[in-house]
Homo-oligomer: A and B are copies of this chain.
Amino acid sequence: MSTGGSGKGALQRWLSTGEMARLSGTTLRTVRFYEAEGLITSRTREDGTHRKFPERELHKLQLISDLREAGLSLQEIKDLIALKAGCPNAARAASEMTANLCERATGIARRIEALQRVHTELSSFLEMLRVCKGCTHPQFPAGCGECEVTAQPGAERANELFWKN
């Protein structure tokens, strides 16, 4: 891991492509792809072939990765990054960014609620399966649909999909 001086005498850490991937939980391919798409930037090393990234690019990569998981497309992320430069002054940029990010935040909140519902449903279904683990009825697997155990409340959809056949 190489270090070098930067402004104000702070230690500037340079990260390799592999370090970027590991520290962000992504892959080599993703790091290179995002660089090619202009989402993060690198300087080529002395050898002229290996990339080196300043630590700031790692933070950007981490947030981009999180936003992708939150459902934003790369184009939407690019648009957000370009938003400030397209505004004539700070007030305008701040209010446009606010409007856009408020929508995103609402979308993410909805997504969180949806995931919590799935998690709850899977938990109910797992609760039912605890009973099924001790099941010795000979009508398995065809008769499970008629079994009273599968009436576990909150697990209806999981039962339809995974258990009733």
Chain A residues with CB under 8 Å of chain B are: 56, 59-60, 62-64, 66-67, 69-70, 80-81, 83-85, 87, 89-91, 93-95, 97-98, 101-102, 104-105, 108-109, 111-112, 114-119, 121-123, 125-126, 129-130, 132-137, 140-141, 144, 156-158, 160-163, 165
A64 to chain B, nearest CB (A): 7
* 7 CB-based A-B contacts, threshold 8 Å: A66-B118, A80-B162, A81-B162, A84-B162, A84-B163, A101-B129, A115-B115
> A115–B112 contact, CB under 8 A?
yes
Of all chain B residues, the one with the shortest Cβ separation from A55 is: B160
A134: B residues at CB distance < 8 A:
91
